Structure 1
Amino acid sequence: MSLKRKIKNTFSWLAKPFKGLPKPSAETLLIAAVLTFNFIVTLSIRLIPLKYGPYLNEFDPYFQYYQAQWIVDRGWGGFIDWFTQPVNKLFWYPTGRDIPSNAYPGVPFVGAFVYLILKGLGINLPMMYVVGFIPAFSAAITTVLLYFIGKELHSKTAGLIASFFFAVSAATLPRTSYGFFDDDSISQIYIALFILSFLKTIKGNTRIWPFIGGIALGLIVMTWGAFIYVLNLFALTIIIFVVFRRINNDIMKSYLISMTIALIFALIVPRARGYLPSAQMLLVYLAYVAIFAELYLSKILKRITPLRLTVYLASVIGGSIGIAYLLERLGYFHGIVGKFLIVINPFYKSQNPWLESVAEHYATSWAQFFLNFNLMFIMLPFGIYLITKRASNMDIFMIITALTSLHATAATNRLFMLSVQPATIVGAIALASIISSYATIFRPPKEYLERRRARLFKGIPTNYGAILLIVLILITIFTSTAAQTNPLRAASIPQSIISTETGSVTYDWIATFEWIKNNLPQNAVIASWWDYGYWITVNTGRITLADNANFNYTKIYLLARALISDENTSLNILKKFGASYVLVYEGMYNAGGYLIPIGGDLEKSYWMLRIGYNYTDQQVRQWYLNTTTITIGNQQVALTLPVGPKAKDVVLYKMLFLNIPNKRQIYPSILNQINMPAPTYFTLVYQSPNGSVLIFKILYPEKIGNT
């Protein structure tokens, strides 16, 4: 027996389960190979931060990790216990935080579920690793779903292009890389699944897809506050279909099933339930009314004159507004507020210093759009034009999705995670159409192709345009020198907890957490600016006054005052909160051998002054902070310095500019000229290895002076 036959007989059992199945075509195998490649690329790029250690990235993921660990500590029953947990006094001391009422359970539920499943299979990974991997896998799975969306809307080529560009998108990389265990990264799968399910139901597949869509919507409701946008997008689409007479029974069935499931989820989640009686949900309810009108009133309305119909519609709309206004005055209905108002009215943020101070709420520039979407941003207008020409129901849904999500992203740059999927899909349709057109023009005669095609490749499709283009774009993207557009460079930035503002690695925060755990009592109350609250509490188990949840503006306002006022005012506020220590942070930047403060509490003090005392920009710069430019070598460096007439009274500046040996020896001379007095009632007890993090113990006098 030949060696070839022996090998065939040895492994023949592997083929038995697949006997009788249709043989996949060459095209199917090629598509599977490309999707596998996209999946691996997505995962590989997003796992690069793991080389720096198993640290989570940014701030909110640490709170999500804390909740997931809380559930796991209680086993499978922790999923139920989450809804009835008591007020947690570690956060927002002394009042504490009622987590079920102002947090979403979706992200920690996923983390705890995956951990418990892996543990049941005998895979014992630390929780930090488990939750760190989840965002990368979420993005990788989404690339596969985008292929099917592109295929439904246009073609397999469009699906492959959309899948690839999502894989290397700069818009998703920072928030889907290892460690970014947060709401928008996990929600990418759910958003893609909802879009796919709705497209399927528009095509008439209503047996199971409306239920899948409803579950996807429900998971978004459990996970991300942006569920308000997704539900309203769905409702707006239905209303437009009704108004323009494009509605049918399949679409109505889809909305009634999917939206009802989503609202059931909203009733279960306390924080989401609070939005149900609000103007944010008005379109959702109007869509139900529109479907009712279509089903039961359309025949009656045909017999009514246009004038009477206009009067009836005006009465219904006016009556609805009147009832909503009355319910709002009685406290049963809420208007549009906060971050949701920013999306509708981008100028609202300028009226609120706290909202304006958060970088995620900044408006998006054209340059940011291009850097995040790359080639897809150029293709986007052409894609919208093409699907507008076809104007099928699926096309109209995608147009509404693309335009509304882009508007939201323009208002606040955090929402790139909402617009990246529709922008990529619509851009991919344009690119696929261009490829198809050129392939048709330049395709040689079939007879010529058959003669020249090698026997080895017989049966493989001749149109390699999409794959060739992907390869060329791949080379272009990965050889780009700009960190914003090069996925490898963008993903190679260390996690924020171990990096400086310029991207270099420093372990000052890690050393600080170790010192706190080993030296401060368990009941120590640490005051700091809200940015660091999650890091401190989750990594040390110590009590903090505020954190990134930012649900209590009054507390933020008082905390700002405590940091940027004189010592008497600060002591009065901190004593009211029961604080025993103050932590301050000063980021450093090495410019030509000089350490320059950047990005820390010194720069944030501008917003503390705006928030705490409602000062205008002019007042802050006149009384506290001045910006000056110095030359270091050939480099111009802008410095914000506390040199105003009131700056020497500010307790934060006294802490940051405390005369610490060796700390400011290589500062520019202009910084050494700032003779800031030392604080009287705050004594330094800890300085991190590089001097970035300082901890002061509060020495309360027997009697604090009046403010």
Structure 2
Amino acid sequence: AINVPKLSPAYLLTSAIMPVAVVFGLLCLAEISRNITTIRGKAIAAAALILVLVGSFTALSIMGYIQGIAGKFISVINPFTREASPLIESVAEHRVSAWGSLYYDLGIGILFFAVGLFFMFRSPNNRNIFIIILGLTSLYFACSMVRLLILFAPAFSLLAAVGINGLLKPFVALLKEPPKISKRKYAMGYVGREFSGVAIFLIFMILMTSYAFPMPKVYRQAYAPTTISGGSLSLVPETPVQEWVNMLKWTRENLAATTVVCSWWDYGYWLTILGNVTTLADNATINSTQIENIGFTFMSNETQALRMLKLYNAEYILVFVTIDYNGNFANAGGDEGKWTWMARISGKAHDRLVSQGFISEEEMWTDDFEKVRELFGNYTLGTHWVDNDKDGQIDNNELISASRGQSSTIYKLMTYAVERWKQEQRGGVPPTTKLLYFEEAYIAGLDNDGYKYGGIVPLVCLYKINYPS
């Protein structure tokens, strides 16, 4: 994923590029029709061009030159297809945009955008129709996938400006009019220039309070910490988070570039570029089969996981867990909040993993979310909540162990790290979690006393894999 892609001429025949050729053909048809004066000539030219386009597209499809539309492009056009792919759905940037996220990024300007569309529809010339199509399609795709909101910015800026201009125009015109002095005693009144000034000032204040106060949004984004300095936490820490930096420094100084480290795909780029090790998957999420295997490694027991790790000659395995001051899972961006995706993504490969002998049919799970929670823990990984008194609150003796979740590899690796932190910071006993094939190599965050980062303790845990002889 870090290499520069080398595109061959075959890229011009992909389904993402072919529509551009079709639009070019339509533009040629429009230009030809302008220079042909007779209706019969225009009809012949249109029929011939359409025949050529359809014939060429059909021939190239039959010959296998035109590739299908990639899954991510299909998921943008039809967001409901993401339900069939837990991997695409698990990426936060692929989520459907909520109204709150749209308003957070666009502010009160979204109202002026709607007004701009109204003014464009009132005078539907070629220019306005083009901007309407640009605005509506950009809005659709921005709502379909949150990461595409940036593509909506140019159309949003144009239409919001049109809306503001359309609202201000009548008030500006009133300001330019000379004052009218009526000689009639009971003449009909009119809107004075002072009211126009008030309206213009109100619109100005609305825009200022949305985009300039208390601080321009561009400044807030500029001062926001980068992902790695934020430690991949789901909150903004008051100081840079050192745990991930320390882990990547340790791998770069103590491991070879060819050392294979198994981790969830979220950390692939960091480990490859900054940690200088080899990972099994990265943030490009291109190799879905390999990501399914990684999810299986974490959700299966140690013996089953070892067989999968041996397939890749992995030497180390890494997990990331966040806990609170008391040592409980904090769900602040660690793997304790990602295990459901690991289970669902690997469950998508149910038949393949069973047929390849990694696990039995009875033990293997599916990608059904409710069944995954029923198997591994409906409260959190390794814990079931049984609401005996039906009051909707967690009472004593209502949290019970989920044995299948507690036997999973990721649960044991995270729990071991938490026990090590309690041993270091709370004077606890050595870890009671017994690891069969994994040995602690380095855990970044054991020196965190729990008072930093808003009470969140991030633990980046690296274990050496000990294969039986």
1:657 corresponding residue in structure 2: 415
> Separation in 1 of the partners of 2:257 and 2:46?
68
2:178 partner amino acid: P
| Amino acid corresponding to residue 342 of structure 2 in structure 1 | M
Deviation at 1:289?
2.1
Deviating more after overlay: 574-583 vs 318-327: 318-327
Q: Distance in 2 between matches of 1:273 and 1:642?
A: 59
Cα distance, 1:378 vs structure 2: 0.7
Shift in alpha-carbon separation, 1:613–1:676, aligned structure 2, 3 A: farther
Could you say if the C-alpha distance between residues 519 and 467 of structure 1 is closer, same or farther in structure 2, counting changes exceeding 3 Å?
Answer: farther
Deviation at 1:569, TM superposition (A): 2.2
Equivalent of 2:141 in 385, 388, 408: 408
TM-score by length of 2: 0.75
Aligned partners of 2:200, 2:60: CA distance in 1, in Å? 52
Residue 563 of structure 1: how far off its partner (Å): 1.8
Q: Is the 8 A contact 1:502 1:589 kept in 2?
A: no
RMSD of aligned residue pairs (Cα, Å): 3.8
1:410 CA drift (Å): 1.2
CA–CA distance in structure 1, aligned partners of residues 77 and 268 of structure 2: 30
Following the alignment from structure 1 to structure 2, what is the Cα–Cα distance between the partners of residues 676 and 549? Answer: 37
Alignment partners' CA distance in 1, 2:108 and 2:7? 38
Within 5 Å, which residues of 2 pair with 1:285-684? 285-296=21-32, 299=36, 302-303=39-40, 319-320=55-56, 322-327=58-63, 330=64, 332-443=65-176, 445=178, 469-470=203-204, 473-479=207-213, 488-499=219-230, 500-504=233-237, 505=239, 506-588=241-323, 596-614=330-348, 615=366, 616-627=368-379, 643-658=401-416, 660-661=418-419, 663-664=421-422, 677-684=433-440
Scaled by the length of structure 1, the TM-score of the pair is: 0.51
How far off its partner does 1:524 sit? 2.2
Counterpart Cα distance in 2 of 1:424 and 1:590: 45
Secondary structure at the counterpart of residue 461 of structure 2: strand
Deviation per residue, 1:89-123 (Å, 9 max, x gap): xxxxxxxx68233xxxxxxxxxxxxxxxxxxxxxx
Asked if structure 2 preserves the Cα contact closer than 8 Å seen for 1:387 and 1:395, the reply is yes
Q: 1:281 aligns with which of 5, 10, 17?
A: 17
Does structure 2 conserve the Cα–Cα contact (< 8 Å) formed by 1:606 and 1:625?
A: no
- Tell whether the 8 Å contact from 1:501 to 1:588 is kept in structure 2 after alignment: no
Specify whether residues 418 and 358 from structure 1 end up closer, same or farther in structure 2 by C-alpha distance, changes over 3 A only.
same
Q: 1:414-435 deviations in whole A, cap 9, x for unaligned?
A: 0001001211210111112212
> Does the Cα contact within 8 Å between 1:648 and 1:677 map onto a contact in 2?
no
Distance in 1 between the 2:77 and 2:289 partners?
Answer: 25
SS in 1 for 2:105: helix
Alpha-carbon offset, residue 386 of structure 1: 1.0
Matched residues in 2 for 1:396 and 1:443: separation? 31
**Which whole-Å CA distance do the structure 2 matches of 1:554 and 1:357 have between them?**
15
Q: Does the 8 Å CA contact 1:498/1:508 hold for their aligned counterparts?
A: no
Q: Whose helix proportion is higher, 1 or 2? A: 1
Distance 1:581 1:686 in 2: 11
Q: Aligned with 2:12: secondary structure? A: coil
Contact kept in structure 2, 1:588 and 1:597, CA below 8 Å:
yes
Counterpart residue type for residue 287 of structure 2: N
Structure 2 Cα separation of the partners of residues 590 and 477 of structure 1: 37
| 1:13-412 equivalence runs, <5 A | 99-101=3-5, 270-271=6-7, 273-296=9-32, 299=36, 302-303=39-40, 319-320=55-56, 322-327=58-63, 330=64, 332-412=65-145
CA distance in 2, matches of 1:360, 1:272: 28
CA contact (8 A) 2:113 2:160 kept: yes
Structure 1 residues 474 and 590: CA distance shift in structure 2, 3 A: farther
Conservation of the 8 A alpha-carbon contact between 1:341 and 1:348: yes
CA shift at 1:350, angstroms? 0.8
Which ranges in structure 2 are unaligned for 5 or more consecutive residues?
Answer: 181-195, 349-365, 387-392, 449-457
Which residue identity does 1:430 align to in structure 2? G
Kindly provide the CA deviation profile for residues 51-76 of structure 1, in whole angstroms up to 9, marking residues without a partner as x.
xxxxxxxxxxxxxxxxxxxxxxxxxx
Question: Partners of 2:125 and 2:324 in 1: how far apart?
Answer: 54
Equivalent position of 2:467 in the other structure: 700
Contact 2:377 2:402 in 1 (8 A): yes
Query: Which stretches of structure 1, 4 residues or longer, exceed 6 Å deviation after superposition?
Result: 308-314, 462-468
> Which residue does 1:251 correspond to in 2?
none
Cα distance in 2 for residues equivalent to 1:353 and 1:470: 45
Give the number of aligned pairs: 403
Quickly say closer, same or farther: Cα 1:296–1:660, change in 2 above 3 A: closer
**TM-superposed deviation, 1:409:** 0.9
**How far did 1:317 drift?**
6.6
Contact preservation (8 Å) 1:494, 1:503: yes
Distance (Å, rounded) in 2 between the aligned partners of 1:398 and 1:666: 62
Q: State the shift of 1:511 in Å.
A: 1.3
**1:411 is aligned with what amino acid?**
S
Structure 1 residues 660 and 401, CA gap change in structure 2 (3 angstroms): closer
Question: 1:337 deviation in Å?
Answer: 1.9
What percentage of residue pairs aligned between the two structures are identical?
Answer: 26
Partner of 2:186: none
Rate the CA distance shift 1:271–1:558 in 2: closer, same or farther, 3 A. Answer: farther
Distance 2:29 2:417 in 1: 74
* Structure of greater relative contact order (alpha carbons < 8 Å, 6+ residues apart): 1
Could you tell me how far apart the structure 1 residues matched to 2:122 and 2:300 are? Answer: 61
Cα distance in 2 for residues equivalent to 1:701 and 1:390 = 76
Q: For structure 1, which runs of at least 5 residues remain unmatched after alignment?
A: 1-96, 102-269, 448-461, 631-635, 703-707
Contact kept, 8 Å, 1:642 with 1:653, in 2: the verdict is: no
Give the match for residue 360 of structure 2: none
